[in-house]
Structure 1
């Protein structure tokens, strides 16, 4: 069944990926109408999230953000599909690093690096980062249930020489590279809701106490890795800029969870500036009233 679904869907994805951008965004406009007006994909979740974190905004303001978000969501889905066939030169034109000199400075410290992302702007196109650095690029991800689509995702995200690894593989892969004298830069997306356990860290995100992923911070401290945040900004439709913001060169100088809080504060700043580019369909605040 998995293979059947794959062979039915993949040709459509490939055909979409070869469309010129002008046509791609016309398709995206149609996807927006389908998601927002016809299917109403997770519209209740999006509305609840927006009302929770923006309690002072009117219904009209919430609706405006919600519509803009679904436009962005549709664009991002089509852009992710476009990545199947996009060239390196095209991607570097559409996803620019504003301070590549900071990458060079961090590499000069001769320590492997962790870069933490939020679900903001475009994290899919960040795969082009490998073209700006000398360190080996690694991306931590959650494998998909469908092994054929999982292989497709791995191929897409590693097309510019970044290797995808699961959470369980992270420490062993980094240590293996270190043993061979290979410095690495590892990307984590860390702003979503973890599994609720007794020892989970509860931090504040958008004014609400929630459980937080701390894996990136714990790994940085365990292996003494420089830690940074990638601030991705949407400039206009189909174009993004990314800035590397160093959080800690020596993570063990910081109290536990401080780096996690610093990361969440950076994501918050972006959300307050332009909330429509955050990934509101996730149930980020679902555990807020279940603290153990």
Structure 2
């Protein structure tokens, strides 16, 4: 059944990937109408999230943000498919690193780097960062249940020499590199909701107390790695710009959870500046009030 689903969907993804960008976004407009007006994909979740974190916005303002978000969501998913065949030259043009010299400066410290960022703007195209640094590129991801699509995702995201590692593989992979003198830069998407456990860390995110992922910070401290934040902004349709913001050259200089809180504040700034580019379909605040 998994293979059947794969062979049915793969040709469609490949056809999307070879479309010129102008046509790609025409298709995206059509998908938007289907997703927003006909299917109503997670519209209730998106609306509830927006109302929760923006209690002072009117119904009209919420509706405007919601529509803009769905337009962006459709663009982003089609851009993910486009990654299958996009060239390095085209990707560098469309996902620019604002300050590559900061990557080189961190690299010169001869310490591996933890790069944390949120589900904002385009995180998929951040794989191009590997082309600006000599360190081995790793990206932590959640393994897909369908092994064929999982392999496809691994192949797509590794086409520019970034290796995907599942959450279960993260510690052993980074430890292995450190023990063998291999310096790495590891990307973590750290803004979503972890499972509730007795010792989970709670912090404020968009004014709401929520449980937080702290794995990136704990690894940085345990292995004496540098920590940086990737600030991605959407310049216009199909074009993004990313800034490397160093949070800590020496992560152990900071108190426990301080780097996690710094990361959350940076994501908040992005959301307040342009809320339509955040990934509102996730149930980020589902554990509200359970502390």
Asked if Structure 1 and Structure 2 have the same fold, meaning a TM-score greater than 0.5 normalized by the shorter chain, the answer is yes
Q: Secondary structure at the match of 2:231?
A: strand
Distance 1:205 1:45 in 2: 17
The equivalent of 1:239 in structure 2 is 239
Distance 1:168 1:14 in 2: 30
Deviation at 1:179, TM superposition (A): 2.5
Query: Which range moved further: 106-115 or 160-169?
Result: 160-169
Distance 1:205 1:175 in 2: 31
Deviation at 1:31, TM superposition (A): 0.6
Distance 1:175 1:190 in 2: 20
The equivalent of 1:72 in structure 2 is 72
The equivalent of 2:206 in structure 1 is 206
The equivalent of 2:196 in structure 1 is 196
What is the 5 A alignment of 1:199-278?
Answer: 199-278=199-278
The alignment covers a number of residue pairs equal to 291
Distance 1:206 1:144 in 2: 29
The equivalent of 1:282 in structure 2 is 282
The equivalent of 2:131 in structure 1 is 131
The equivalent of 1:158 in structure 2 is 158
Distance 2:51 2:180 in 1: 50
Residue deviations 1:23-81 (CA, integer Å, cap 9, x gap): 00000000100110000000000000000000000000000000000000000000000
Q: Secondary structure at the match of 2:245?
A: strand
Deviation at 1:176, TM superposition (A): 1.6
Q: When the two structures are superposed, what TM-score results if normalisation uses the length of structure 2? A: 0.99
The equivalent of 1:60 in structure 2 is 60
Deviation at 1:206, TM superposition (A): 0.2
Residue deviations 1:88-147 (CA, integer Å, cap 9, x gap): 000000000000000000000000000001000000000100000110000001100000
Distance 2:241 2:150 in 1: 27
Residue deviations 1:165-216 (CA, integer Å, cap 9, x gap): 0122112211222222210000000000000111100000000000000000
Q: Secondary structure at the match of 2:169?
A: helix
Q: Secondary structure at the match of 1:289?
A: coil
Distance 2:17 2:171 in 1: 34
Q: Secondary structure at the match of 1:280?
A: coil
Distance 2:175 2:196 in 1: 29
Distance 1:186 1:119 in 2: 16
Deviation at 1:148, TM superposition (A): 0.1
Query: Which range moved further: 61-70 or 246-255?
Result: 246-255
What is the 5 A alignment of 1:64-143?
Answer: 64-143=64-143
Q: Secondary structure at the match of 2:185?
A: strand
Query: Which range moved further: 177-186 or 53-62?
Result: 177-186
Distance 2:37 2:22 in 1: 23
Question: Runs in 1 of length 4+ with deviation above 3 angstroms?
Answer: none
The equivalent of 2:185 in structure 1 is 185
Q: Secondary structure at the match of 2:8?
A: helix
Distance 2:192 2:59 in 1: 25
Distance 1:262 1:203 in 2: 11
Distance 1:196 1:175 in 2: 26
